[in-house]
């Protein structure tokens, strides 16, 4: 089962030619936030609703060099957290998601956000 990490394109740009990716949260919280497939849309609405576009890294946990732990987080929901940098071999796909201005995330009805 894949896990997913959402990143802004300008952040990914700094790491795209590196062997490892490290989100800011690795320094501030000691882990990198990830999501399961069914959590992506909620995370996009909660944290990225003002972004023009994002990249979603599809990560194969079995290929990770760092430790992966499933932990309780927002709303006591279980999320995957990576305790270390993400080695690029574990990133099996990078999906671009564009936003549609006032409508919000493509495919998401922002009327349901309130």
CATH number at residue 62: 3.20.170.20
Q: Supply φ then ψ for residue 5, to 5 degrees.
A: -125, 130
* Alpha carbons within 13 A on the beta-carbon side of 99: 19
Total domains present in the chain: 1
Q: Is residue 76 part of a domain?
A: yes
Q: Is residue 111 part of a domain?
A: no
What pTM was computed for the model?
0.85
Q: What is the pLDDT of residues 73-95, one digit of tens each?
A: 888 999 999 999 999 999 999 99
Q: Is residue 75 part of a domain?
A: yes
Domain that holds residue 26: 3-105
Q: Is residue 112 part of a domain?
A: no
Q: What is the pLDDT of residues 17-58, one digit of tens each?
A: 999 999 999 999 999 999 999 999 999 999 998 899 999 999
Q: Is residue 82 part of a domain?
A: yes
Contact 11, 51 (CB under 8 A): no
């Amino acid at each position: 089962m894949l896990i997913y990490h959402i990143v802004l394109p300008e952040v990914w740009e700094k790491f795209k030619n590196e062997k490892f990716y490290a989100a800011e949260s690795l320094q501030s919280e000691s882990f990198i936030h990830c999501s399961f497939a069914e959590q992506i849309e909620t995370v996009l609405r909660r944290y990225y609703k003002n972004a023009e576009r994002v990249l979603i890294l599809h990560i194969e946990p079995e290929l990770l060099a760092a430790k992966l732990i499933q932990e309780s987080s927002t709303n006591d929901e279980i999320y995957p957290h990576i305790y270390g940098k993400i080695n690029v071999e574990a990133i099996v796909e990078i999906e671009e998601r564009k936003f549609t201005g006032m409508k919000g995330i493509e495919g998401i009805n922002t009327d349901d956000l309130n």
